[in-house]
Chain A
Amino acid sequence: MSSVRTSLTTALVATVLTVALSACGPRPDPVHKEQILAMGTMVNITLWGVDNDVAQKAFTAANQDFNYMQTAYHPWKPGPMGRTNQLLALDAWFSANPSVLPLIKRAKALYHASDGLFNPAIGRLIGLWGFHSDTLPKGPPPSKAAIERLVAQHPTMDDIQIKGIRVRSTNPAVQLDTGGFAKGYAVDRVIDHLRRLGVSNAIVDAGGDLRAIGSHGGEPWHIGIRDPSAPGILAEVDVKGDESVFTSGVYERFYMYKGKRYHHIIDPRTGYPARGTTSATVIGSDGATSDAAATALLIAGPKLWHRVAESMGIKYAMLVASDGTVYMNPAMAKRMHFEHKPPKVVLSAPL
């Protein structure tokens, strides 16, 4: 009798365990994904927990929004921002296109918060380096004299005055290039739109910079942060609720000339590509601030990044220096799950 009971129990336990585990098989994950070519990059949109109709509406809306903003914010092609740049050079008041006004106001605030390191008024310098082109420049780099001349003119966001919709620049050297944060700003607008359409769980990822809202079926979204110096993933970070993850890296756009590397993140203080940092990653609330902060921290470098992050209200930041050293604040360190231990980690004071 006891042998029968044991047999039954054994069979029961084995069956329950087997069925329980196999029930967790790879059911199709209820996600919808879409890719859009916009803002000079590949935009990936992931939605969770909506039906097909809502997903299609959301993708169409995102596509239209990104295409509109791509034209509106493009710094050197014909369009609202291109036109604004022409008018800024005239030293006279003009009526700005309503599509660019909020962007300019936001850029002024972020310029101040970053101590001038995030400076979208240096469009002329970025153009001088050859980065106002769809294809990468081949060099040679601009002459020292030409760079010094533009730096001496000291174009800043403070030179732009705004009264209602009227705008002027008091410095003819000011040309706006919002490449450092337009992507983040656009991601914010699309997230707002998706929410209005009833989407609560989504990632809008514009070429590796993203904002994630809600969750992946109650679980956090898993974000891999690509290693800036080797193929593969440097670390994983989980986000849930509403957070943006933005990285600025010197490997994104660059050219080689006579064995030297010239990248697209220009330090407004020197007029040359920022030195000392390979990438800066920020986890923040909205996309625009996180995008601008990632650019500013990369320019700030290992010595100044903490001060700039503090003044921009950033709570989680990481810098990878040119020698591979990883700088982080303690709260960021807690969230980063490294795939391989970095050669050297320097923890800052809390932010």
Chain B
Amino acid sequence: MTRADIVVLVLALALLPMLYVKFWHHGAAGDEVRIMVDGKPWQVVSLKHDRRVTVHGALGDSVLEIKHGAVRFIASPCPSKYCIHSGWLHDGGEFTACLPNRVSIEVIGARARYDAINF
């Protein structure tokens, strides 16, 4: 085995864990959030850049915060604030909604870790 063989082997083996984590690891963090207004797609926003998004819904403005690859509601004109209590959504398939304001968000990734969330 030459030195070049060893280099190739080491590189290939180093690549394996990366590929495994990227493609096989279940429940990978989502890349984007799909924002729906009134049941229709409104915008798909990347979770890579920290920012705030204001969504105009049926009752008023819902404000989403995107930070460190996760998203949450931080303000919404609903009485129960259930959307805000849902907290950070991070994994593909995680979903929450402000029903009175008709705004919903879903984290999208490859295959989502969960096909549905029961509550």
Is B115 within 8 A of A216, CB to CB? yes
Say whether A92 faces chain B, with CB atoms less than 8 Å apart: no
Q: Which of B4, B15, B104 interacts with A42 by CB under 8 Å?
A: B104
- Decide if B5 touches A212 in the complex (CB within 8 Å): no
Does A52 belong to the interface (CB within 8 Å)? Answer: no
Please give me the residue from chain A that is nearest to B58 by CB atom. Answer: A37
Q: Within the assembled complex, what's the spacing in Å between the Cα atoms of A255 and B8?
A: 64
Provide the bound-state CA to CA distance between A35 and B8, in Å. Answer: 49
* Given A17-B12, A24-B24: A223 in contact with B5 (beta carbons within 8 A): no
Asked if A170 CB lies within 8 Å of chain B CBs, one says no
0/1 interface trace, chain B 49-91, chain A, CB 8 Å (1 if under) = 0000000000000000000000000000001101001111000
Q: How many of chain B's residues have a CB under 8 angstroms from any CB in A?
A: 44
Q: Is the pair B114, A26 in contact by a Cβ cutoff of 8 Å?
A: no
Quick one: given A29-B111, A37-B39, A249-B119, are A136 and B5 in contact (CB under 8 Å)? no
Bitwise, A14-51 to B at CB < 8 A (1) or not (0) is 11011001101110010000011100111010100000
* Residues of the B chain whose Cβ atoms lie less than 8 Å from the Cβ of A26: 23, 109-111
Is there an interface contact between B23 and A25, defined as CB atoms closer than 8 Å?
yes
Q: Which residue of A lies closest to B98 (CB)?
A: A42
A7 touches B1 (CB 8 A): yes
* Contact A44 B95, beta carbon cutoff 8 Å: yes
Given A18-B15, A231-B85, A231-B86, is A35 in contact with B116 using a C-beta cutoff of 8 Å?
Answer: no
A271 to chain B, nearest CB (A): 23
Considering the chains assembled together, what is the distance between the CA atoms of A181 and B97 in angstroms?
A: 22
Residues of chain B within 8 A (CB-CB) of A35 are 36, 39, 104
Q: Which residues of B contact A143 (CB under 8 A)?
A: none
46-81 of chain A: CB within 8 A of chain B: 46
For window 215-244 of chain A, which residues contact chain B by CB distance below 8 Å?
A: 216, 221-226, 228, 231-233, 236
Q: Which residues of A contact B87 (CB under 8 A)?
A: 231-232
Q: Is the CB of B114 within 8 A of A14?
A: no
B114 touches A236 (CB 8 A): yes
Beta-carbon contact of B23 and A22 below 8 Å? yes
Residue among A3, A216, A223 making CB contact with B118, cutoff 8 Å: A223
| Contact present for B116 and A210 (CB under 8 Å) | yes
Q: CB within 8 A of B115: which of A17, A203, A232, A247?
A: A203
A209 within 8 A of B: yes
Residues of chain A within 8 A of B102, CB atoms compared: 37
Residues of A within 8 Å of B100, CB to CB, are 135
B118 touches A6 (CB 8 A): no
Residue of B nearest to A24 (CB): B23
Closest to A235 in B: B118
Chain A residues with Cβ below 8 Å from B4 are 7
> Which chain A residues numbered 158 to 178 have a C-beta less than 8 Å away from chain B?
none
Report A74 CB to chain B, min CB distance, Å. 16
CB contacts (< 8 Å) of A307 on chain B: these are none
For A7, give the chain B residue with the smallest CB separation: B5
Interface membership of A205, Cβ < 8 A? yes
The answer to whether A223 touches B23, judged by C-beta atoms less than 8 angstroms apart, is no
Q: Find B113's partner among A13, A25, A224, A246 (CB 8 Å cutoff).
A: A224
CB pair A224 B39 closer than 8 Å: no
* 8 Å CB contact of A205 from B9, B20, B38, B116: B116
A208 surroundings in chain B (CB, below 8 A): 117-119
Does B99 sit within 8 A of A, measured CB to CB?
yes
In the complex, are the beta carbons of A14 and B116 less than 8 A apart?
no
Asked if A245 is at the interface of the complex by the 8 Å CB criterion, the answer is: yes
A to B CB contacts below 8 Å, 8 in the list: A18-B15, A21-B19, A24-B24, A25-B22, A25-B23, A46-B116, A205-B118, A216-B111
A residues with CB within 8 A of B: 3, 6-7, 10-11, 13-15, 17-18, 21-22, 24-26, 29, 35-37, 40-42, 44, 46, 135-136, 203, 205, 208-210, 212, 216, 221-226, 228, 231-233, 236, 245-247, 249, 251-254, 281
| 17 further interface pairs, Cβ-Cβ under 8 Å (given A25-B22, A281-B118) | A3-B2, A7-B5, A11-B5, A18-B16, A24-B23, A40-B99, A205-B116, A210-B118, A222-B115, A223-B118, A226-B118, A246-B118, A247-B119, A249-B119, A251-B85, A253-B80, A254-B80
